[in-house]
Amino acid sequence: MKGLTRRMLLTASLAMIGGKARGQSRSVDIDISGLAVDELMMIERGGARLAVRRLSCSAFLVLDTNCTHLGCPVQAIASAHFAFRCFCHGSQFAPDGAVLRGPAERPLPSYSYHRISRNKIRVLLDRPQ
Ligand code: FES
């Protein structure tokens, strides 16, 4: 290990996680062929926990499902009042990620994506919004 710095190891680890070379965006490709309008898919990919909701034939909402309070994973809930709940401390989030009940104070971040084929979207994990 002599000669390897912590920075070198971290850079190599991050490159392996994202499968990308230095200077490129970290992204994941998601098969959306089985996702109907208004359906939600919870997935873990590329080190990220995501909720992908199909809003229309061509529009999607991709949310990070790590609670913005202290980072526990939120669960999808079929409810008329909220869509995601964190069981660590009880935060609740709307379908668009907005906070409905704390202690979380910030909405679930969303990610940009673009369609790369009829059945796939590429989610850009480097720039949550
Ligand atoms: S980590 Fe989710 S409410 Fe605390």
91 lines ligand 1 (CB under 6 A): yes
Give φ, ψ of 101 to 5 degrees. Answer: -155, 135
Task: Tell me the per-residue pLDDT of 50-68, one tens digit each, with 9 for 90 and over.
Answer: 999 999 999 999 999 999 9
Domains of the chain: 26-124 (2.102.10.10)
Rg of the Cα atoms in the chain: 16
How many residues are present in the chain?
129
Looking at ligand 1, which residue's alpha carbon is closest to its atom 3?
Answer: 89
Task: Tell me the per-residue pLDDT of 3-39, one tens digit each, with 9 for 90 and over.
Answer: 444 444 434 444 444 444 455 678 999 999 999 998 9
CA 99 to centroid of ligand 1, rounded, Å: 11
What sign for the dihedral angle of Cα 27, 32, 35, 38? Answer: positive
CA 128 to centroid of ligand 1, rounded, Å: 19
